[in-house]
Amino acid sequence: MSVIAETSELADISEMVRAGERLSFADGVRLFRTRDIHTLGELATVARERLHGKAAYYNINRHINYSNICVLRCKFCSFYRPFPKDAPENETKEPRASARANHDREQAFPIIDESRKLKLAAPSDTYELSVDQIVARAREAHEHGATEVHIVGGLHPTLPFDYYLDMCRGIKTACPDLHIKAFTAIEIIHFTRITKPRLSIREVLEQLREAGLDSLPGGGAEIFDDRVHDEAYKNKVGEKGWFDVHRTAHEMGIFSNATMLYGHVESIEDRVRHMIKLREHQDESLASRAAHFNCVVPLSFIPDDSDLSHLPGPTGLDDLRTLALARLMCDNIPHIKAFWIMQTPKLAQVSLNWGVDDLDGTVVWYDITKREGHGTHQELTVDKIKRLIIEAGYDPTERDTLYRPVQQK
Ligand code: V47
């Protein structure tokens, strides 16, 4: 035990962490509120290095956000747009497009083939990508070394379930070895509602898997608390629905991730409870199901342009405390990811010494939040990711979605 920890107000918790013992809710709250931030960081590093040594993971991936049209009105979200009233229904082959986002994309990324050129329609900034456009992006990503596409979008009121199946089939036909991590639990429940007759969660997942889906991302969890739910994302599927989807996925052998959106209207206690709920679910999955959570992704709230834009959002120290706490509380979930789009590359780098072992990946395009740069081009090259990791004292380790090492040819 280090001298710092012995004299710290955290001496008892320090002993527990070093002995690999499980922390309680009260321990979590104390850790979060401690003024002894160096011990907090050190303890998170102990837990992180026990699991992963000096490895720090990243992947070459591409995020694809297929549409910003959404039936929900979550207050934290600046991405969604209402369905345009004059829109023709089920126009999936040549969909409307966001003039600004796609113009920026075409300008910044000239290697796109012709099929990616979008028809610009009404002066609205809603967009839907066609299946062909999505497949073209996936193919292009694969040609540039990507091993994963991460696909999510708004809850679209008129796109049929076949659109999502065709998207998966199209990508697998074009790039059979590209891993498809797609659709948050909220989208999966939306699919159960748009199918006629209604499909169950299991049936939706079976059909998607048959079409090529490989795993589920962790989005849509927000904060598992009724007060926070009603205040910030009232009409969204809540805790029960989110866990139903992940439980079913794990029973079926489909791996998934888990997020926590922090820094808005929740309390510190809410964050700790959220982490404990993830830990409890993981205990059950590890004991009795064919798959489990691979990582926890704490997402730092970006207030800009949302209905909660009057809130300040988390500070850097709040980000570090939360990431460290995720490592210490979620002791049975192998990886903690700092998604650099939300935490910024600089803070994500620092967080490698605060419990984090994964930085997500190259990303390239990201529409849901726009903290880095203008428009939606948000990319870290592999060289930049490696530099961040090496400077932090860790070994850059390229991984696939399931955290197996990747050797680029
Ligand atoms: O579900 C929305 C969040 C999520 C904002 O599984 C916001 O590996 C911050 O889930 N500020 C989508 N966050 C992103 C997501 C994700 C990202 C990276 C990796 C993985 C993974 C998952 O983004 C949404 C919502 O919780 N979000 N708006 C915002 N203003």
Q: Which atom of ligand 1 is nearest to the CA of 222?
A: 26
How many secondary structure helices (H) and strands (E) does the chain include?
16, 11
Q: How far apart are alpha carbons 133 and 373 in whole angstroms?
A: 24
Q: Quick check: 385 and 362 in contact, CB under 8 A?
A: yes
Q: Which atom of ligand 1 is nearest to the CA of 258?
A: 6
Angle at 258 between CA 14 and CA 235, to 5 degrees: 125
Q: Which of 10-19, 96-105, 219-228, 338-347 has the lowest mean pLDDT?
A: 96-105
Tokens 């995720």 locate to 326
Instruction: Please state, for a pLDDT cut of 70, what percent of the chain lies above it.
Output: 87
Q: How far is CA 10 from the centre of its chain?
A: 31
pLDDT tens for each residue of 241-255: 999 999 999 999 999
Beta strands in 141-249 (DSSP E): 148-152, 179-182
Angle at 389 between CA 385 and CA 394, to 5 degrees: 150
Residue 74 Cα to ligand 1 middle (Å): 12
Residue 409 Cα to ligand 1 middle (Å): 31
Residue 40 Cα to ligand 1 middle (Å): 25
Per-domain residue ranges of the chain:
3-48, 55-78+141-398
Residues within a 6 A CB radius of ligand 1: 76-78, 184, 217-220, 222, 257, 259, 261, 297, 299, 301-302, 306, 339, 342, 360, 368-369
Query: Candidates 66, 246, 299: which one to mutate for ligand 1, based on the most atoms within 8 Å of Cβ?
Result: 299
Residue 401 Cα to ligand 1 middle (Å): 17
Q: How far apart are alpha carbons 207 and 159 in whole angstroms?
A: 16
Q: How far apart are alpha carbons 141 and 364 in whole angstroms?
A: 9
Q: How far apart are alpha carbons 308 and 23 in whole angstroms?
A: 32
In this prediction, residue 119 has a pLDDT band, given cuts at 50, 70 and 90, of very low
134 pLDDT above the threshold of 80: yes
Tokens 């907090």 locate to 40
Helix/strand/coil for 250? helix
In CATH, 55-78+141-398 is 1.10.490.10: no
Helix/strand/coil for 298? strand
pLDDT tens for each residue of 171-220: 999 999 999 999 999 999 999 999 999 999 999 999 999 999 999 999 99
Residue 260 Cα to ligand 1 middle (Å): 8
